[in-house]
């Protein structure tokens, strides 16, 4: 670890304690984060032209970029501070933002053509409930997709990403914090949750040099199997 990195990690921790919305908004602007999200959304098996729900949207950067790509986006987060910042920064672009619980989504069955969540399935207490809820509010024929850090994300991967994407200074420290502090999941575990929720056409894609992955599935039948 660079000598300055210890102090920088303290700064990241302090920002996390003082204002998670500002920290996540800062992270949303970092090159490695944008590149990971572009890799993910660029590989969606659907065009972002319909209605999309971004669950656990944080301060709204992903919602805004999907809206700008042509979708009609609703961002949802349980934190009123996240939603307030998202509305302040991104409502002008057309995306809507709502406060609510991802484990009891305040929408009816089949409301959205796609339901996505970045860095949420590894955070919530009931990941199986999250995937079941995301599936419920997806229309038959629509898609569910999640992004999360994987078990293989270690310090060597931080070095590799830093080299490949030229991530330096404070941005690299934030990447190191994500590696050190995040809960990680295996794609197999998440794929299993997709199967249990009744999703089909399940695909796994490695992202950010294998530090993260996405799992995407399609809802081909309604709940109850019709």
Contacts by 176-182, CB closer than 8 A, 24 or more apart: 176/1, 176/5, 176/9, 177/9, 177/12, 177/13, 178/27, 178/149, 179/149, 179/153, 179/154, 179/155, 179/211, 182/119, 182/122, 182/149, 182/153
Work out how close the CB of 173 gets to ligand SAM at its nearest, in angstroms, rounded to a whole number.
17
| By CB under 6 A, residue 184 contacts ligand SAM | no
The residue number with the shortest CB distance to ligand SAM is 58
**Residue 98 neighbours by CB distance under 10 Å:** 16
In this chain, which of 32, 77, 86, 112 binds ligand SAM, going by CB under 6 A? 77
| By CB under 6 A, residue 57 contacts ligand SAM | yes
Work out how close the CB of 97 gets to ligand SAM at its nearest, in angstroms, rounded to a whole number.
11
Binding mask 88-107 for ligand SAM (x = CB under 6 A): -------------xxx----
| Nearer residue to ligand SAM within complex by CB, 65 or 119 | 119
Q: Are strands 200-207 and 112-118 parallel, antiparallel or unpaired?
A: unpaired
Determine the 3-state secondary structure of 147 from DSSP. Answer: strand
| By CB under 6 A, residue 79 contacts ligand SAM | yes
| Nearer residue to ligand SAM within complex by CB, 78 or 96 | 78
Of residues 111, 55, 113, 104, the one with CA closest to residue 82: 55
- Chain positions contacting ligand SAM, by CB under 6 A: 24, 28, 56-58, 77-79, 82, 101-103, 118-120, 123-124
């Amino acid at each position: 670890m660079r000598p300055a990195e210890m102090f920088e990690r303290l700064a990241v921790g302090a920002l996390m304690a003082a204002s998670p919305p500002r920290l996540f908004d800062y992270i949303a602007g970092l090159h490695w984060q944008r590149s990971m999200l572009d890799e993910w959304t660029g590989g969606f098996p659907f065009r972002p032209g319909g209605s999309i729900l971004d669950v656990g949207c944080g301060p709204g950067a992903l919602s805004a970029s999907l809206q700008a790509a042509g979708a009609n986006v609703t961002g949802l987060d349980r934190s009123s501070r996240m939603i307030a910042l998202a509305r302040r920064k991104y409502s002008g672009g057309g995306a809507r933002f709502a406060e609510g619980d991802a484990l009891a989504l305040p929408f009816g069955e089949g409301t959205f053509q796609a339901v996505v969540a970045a860095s949420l399935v590894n955070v919530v207490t009931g990941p199986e409930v999250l995937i079941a809820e995301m599936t419920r509010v997806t229309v038959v024929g629509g898609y569910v997709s999640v992004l999360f850090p994987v078990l293989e994300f270690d310090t060597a991967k931080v070095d590799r990403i830093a080299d490949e994407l030229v991530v330096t200074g404070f941005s690299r420290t934030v990447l190191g914090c994500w590696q050190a502090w995040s809960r990680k999941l295996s794609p197999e575990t998440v794929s299993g949750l997709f199967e249990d929720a009744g999703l089909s056409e399940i695909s796994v894609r490695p992202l950010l040099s294998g530090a993260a992955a996405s799992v995407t599935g399609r809802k081909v039948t309604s709940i109850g199997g019709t």
